[in-house]
Structure formats: structure tokens, C-alpha cells
Amino acid sequence: MIQNEGGIFLLFSTISFIYYFLAAVLLLYFIVPFKCKNLVLLAASLFFYFYGEPIYTLLMIATILSSYIHGLLIDKFRGTVWSKVFLWSSVVTSIGALGFFKYSDFFISNVNSIFKTEFSLLGLALPIGISFYTFQTLSYTIDVYRDEAKVQKSPIRLATYVALFPQLIAGPIVRYTTVEEELSHRTHSFENFGAGVTRFIIGLSKKVLIADTLGGLANTMHAMEDATVVGYWMYAVAISLQLYFDFSGYSDMAIGLGKIFGFHFLENFNYPFISKSIAEFWRRWHMSLGTWFRDYVYIPMGGNRVSQGRWFFNILTVWFLTGFWHGADWTFIIWGLYFAAFLLLEKFVLNKVFAKLPKFVSHIYVVIAILISFVIFSGNGLSGAMADLGNMFGAGGIAFWSGETGYYLGSYGVVLATAILGATPLVKTVVLKIKENRIGSLVCDILEPVFVVVMLLVVTAYFVDGSFSPFLYFRF
């Protein structure tokens, strides 16, 4: 469990969640008839959220009720102007709640800074997961309006979709259309259950064994009094890989839990660090967010089927919003616009240049650009981020190398090598190649459950030792 501003929150990476909460939910879920399964999941999900956010649970319920009512009204008045009125009402209501709770103090502080006013900050705690479930409810009402999804007349089913605890507080952003049929008809099997358990434990291991260890390295290198250029590049590598294994690990756990309960969520990561361009990176990183902005913001604005000036505006708007979605701080906005700049450069300059060069050159370019981006992303405000970037390039005359830097590089060398290898599809490719052979497939079938059990035991040992931390994306 972890203490946040709203209360004590259950984490996937805790004994309390795995051995008490999840075990009880699974037992109850599989003994009740199908018509009661959504009710069990909804009750469990509301308890899961209420345990950490007792007050803000009411906000989530209000958001669900608003989406449910708006969906009915959009469908009832389909073909009339009132359908669009109710669509915009749902958008304004959802975005308004997100803006109020997440961005009020950001706007107030900037107004105070610009106009020298002294408006008091509201000091609101950020409701956990509000960015994720808001986008899910918006996808529902928008798709109903577009006639791409049938209106959901059962409030229990819609509430189950929004509140489903596997993906409630840190994604991936699950579209209503993805699980529309499974809310009413889904199948359960030992095969899916086993695959779900395996995926969950792999994600759990990525988070606890790799991401948390890299987090320790990142904190150590960032806090060193005798900073070095190499030390700051180690920080950049550690924080970038920590973000990847933390968030992709959570996504693996969510997808695995979904499969256990009969849902099939779409993939959220596809080895982004092997990309040869920033555009490709964003087709592989946090895919549920990227496709959400593409389908609900970029394309409705005209996409690239507009004048060049308007296209520039569309790109800048989408990436401004992508950055701002991550948090109420200028570092996130700069981070989003940083990617917009690279996408424009690739479109008009870089793609032509890299087409004439060996592929590894473009890969190195992407890796360096991504490392820099996540230093900005993780910075303590703009000034902190700029100071970190300056140190990466030797600003202020800091040393290039030190014995202390070498000590930490040696101490964390194995986990860094493991993380770099794990960020590529090499291991997966080798396993699939082995499985092509009948004997190899049999060996893998025997070793896989052993490996999964061993990983669970190792992770549990970390839990007992208290060596874990909250998911980074909880703050978004």
C-alpha cells in the first residue's frame, strides 16, 4: 500500500493486493454466474478506488453517471442538433472536471506570476487516474455520437468499463469499442487465465526488479555532490528505462488481469527504443494515448489533409495537449512541444538525410533524443530540467568522470545491461524461434510456469523487504 494525498492506496506491487484483494476477487468472480460477474468486478473496482480515494470516488461515479446520461441523450436525439449539443455537453463536463482538479493551481500560479496578483491556490489533491478514466468516458460518448458504438443502456456495464480496476488508475486507455462486446459476452478458459497470470507476473517483475532498481540508480546519480558528465548520462539512461519498465510493466499487469477476467485490452508498448525515428517511437510508446489523440483530436482538426500552415498548427496543438495531459507543469508542455519540433524536422529535413545513411545512425539519433526528452520530463521544474541538461553536456565545468561514477556504473552494470536487453525484442525472438521446434516448444512449456513461479517468489521477497515504490504514472 502507499499513502497519497487522498488516502492509502492499494498497489499492484504489494502483498495486500496480490494475496488478499486479488485472491478474494478471483474466488468470488469465478463462483458467481455470468450475469453477476460484472457486478462483482464493479463492486471490487469501487472498493479498490475507495480504499485510496474515498472522497474522489464520488467524482468518478459522477463522471460515469454523466457519461451514461449523455450517451442516452445523444442516441435519443440522433440526427438532430440536440445530439451534438449533448455531445459537447459531455465533453465540456468531462474536460471541465479534469481541468478543475488537475490544472486549477497551474493556471492560478501563472496568472499570479504574469499579472503580479495574489490569488490563493486551491491546493486540490489530484484524483488518482482522472486523466485515464476521463479519456475513456470521452471515447464512449464520442463514439456513440459517431455511431461507431452502440449506446450502453445498462449503467452497470458502463460503470464496469470505466471503473475496471486493472486499468483504472494508470491505463492503458481502453476504448469502449475495444471491450463493448466483452462487457456482455466474454469467454473464460484455463488458457486465457494462464496467459493472463503469466503476463501479470512478467509485468510485476519488470516493475519491481528492473524499474525500481533503476529508480534507485537515477536518484543516486542525480543527488551526487560531485556530479560528472558520465554520471548525468547514466541518470538519463536510468530514468528513461525506469519510465519504460515502470509504465510498460503496469500495462502488462493490466492486460494480464484483463485476460484473466475475459477482457482483451490492446497493447500499449511495442519496444519503442528500437525505433529509427521519433514518429516511429510514438507509434510504439504509450500507444493508447497516441491513438486517442490521433482519432479524437488530430483527425477531427483535419489531420494532414489541410494547408501546410494549418497542419503545423494541428501538430503543435496535439503535442501541446499530449504534454499537458501528463501534468500541470511547464516541463511537460515543453516536453510535448519538443516532440512536435522533431516530428516537423523529420518530415522536412531529417528523414531525407537519414535515408542516405546507415540505419544505426538514425537509431542513435532517436535514442539520444529520447534520453534528453525524459530528462526534461523528469526535471524539477524548467530550471531543474535545464540544469540537468546542462550537466549532461558539461556546463559549469563539471568533471567528465570520477571514481565514484565508475563505482556506480560497475554496481548497476548488470541491471543496466538487463534493462537494455529487455527493451529490445531479442529475448522474445529467441524464445519464439526455440518454440518452432517441437522439442524446444515442449521444453519452453515446461520451463515457463517454473520461471513464472520463481519470479513471483523473488518479487514477493522484495515485498517483504519493503523494496518497492509506487508507479510513476500514478501522478498523471
Residue spans per domain, the chain: 2-186, 192-475
pLDDT tens per residue, range 360-377: 999 999 999 999 999 999
Rounded Cα distance between 460 and 467, Å, is: 10
How far apart, in whole angstroms, are the C-alpha atoms of residue 293 and residue 101?
21
Establish how many alpha carbons lie within 13 A of residue 122's alpha carbon, considering only the half-sphere containing its beta carbon: 13
By the 8 A CB rule, do 162 and 153 touch?
no
Count Cβ neighbours within 10 Å for each residue of 112-134 and write b for 16 or more, e otherwise.
Answer: eeeeeeeeeeeeeebbbbbbbbb
Residue 329, Ramachandran bin (φ over 0: left; ψ between -120 and 50: alpha; else beta): beta
Residue 229 to residue 212: CA distance in whole angstroms: 23
Percent of the chain with pLDDT over 90: 84
As a whole number of angstroms, the distance between CA 391 and CA 172 comes to 34
1 pLDDT band, cuts 50/70/90, is: very low
Residue 358, number of CB atoms within 10 A of its CB: 9
Query: What pLDDT sits at residue 219?
Result: 94
Answer with the residue of higher pLDDT: 5 or 218.
218
Q: Which three cell numbers stand for residue 49?
A: 478506488
Confidence (pLDDT) at 397: 84
Q: What gap in Å lies between CA 372 and CA 17, rounded to an integer?
A: 35
Q: What is the value of pTM for the model shown?
A: 0.94
Cell of 475: 501522478
Least trusted range by pLDDT, from 26-30, 190-194, 321-325, 395-399: 395-399
Separation CA 284–CA 270 (nearest Å): 5
- The residues that bridge with 38 in the sheet, in sequence order, are none
Q: Do residues 221 and 231 lie in contact, with contact meaning Cβ atoms separated by under 8 Å?
A: yes
Nearest to 263 by CA among 271, 251, 255, 273: 255
Per-residue model confidence (pLDDT) at position 437? 87
Question: Does the pLDDT at position 223 exceed 50?
Answer: yes
Of the pLDDT bands very low, low, confident and very high (cuts 50, 70, 90), residue 53 is: confident
Could you report the per-residue pLDDT of 58-116, keeping only the tens digit for each? 999 999 999 999 999 999 999 999 999 999 999 999 999 999 999 999 999 999 999 99
Are 109 and 125 in contact by the 8 Å Cβ rule? The answer is no
Residues 242-299: tens digit of each pLDDT: 999 999 999 999 999 999 999 999 999 999 999 999 999 999 999 999 999 999 999 9
Q: Is 326 a catalytic site residue?
A: yes
Question: DSSP string of 221-290?
Answer: HHH-SS-BHHHHHHHHHHHHHHHHHHHHHHHHHHHHHHHHTT--PPP--S-GGG-SSHHHHHHHSSHHHH
Q: Which of 70, 286, 326, 363 is catalytic?
A: 326
CA distance 70 to 87: 7
